[in-house]
Amino acid sequence: MDCHYSISESYTQAPTNANFELHNHSDYEIFLFLEGDAQYVVEDNIYTLEPGNLIIVRKHELHRIYHNSCKPYRRMILMVSPDFFQQNACAGYEAQFLNAPLGTGHKISADNVRSSGLYDAFMRYKKYSNDYVLSSDAPVLKSLVVEILYLISQIRDFSSSDISMGPIKSVILYLNNHYASDITLDTLQDRFFISKYYLCREFRKATGLTVHEYIRRKRLTRVRELHAQGMPIGDAALETGFHDYSSFYRAFRKEYAAPPRKALS
Chain length of the chain = 265
Angle between the 211-228 and 196-207 helix axes, to the nearest 10 degrees?
50
pTM of the full structure: 0.83
Confidence class for position 159, pLDDT limits 50, 70, 90: confident
Strands (E), 95-215: 107-108
Q: Are 103 and 45 in contact (CB under 8 A)?
A: yes
Tens digits of residue pLDDT in 218-253:
999 899 889 988 999 999 999 999 999 999 999 999
Q: Averaging pLDDT over each range in 33-37, 193-197, 255-259, which range is the top one?
A: 33-37
Average pLDDT score over the chain: 90
pLDDT of 20 higher than 60: yes
Tens digit of each residue's pLDDT (9 = 90 or more) over 174-213: 999 999 999 999 999 999 999 999 999 988 888 888 999 9
- The CA distance from 183 to 195, in Å, is 15
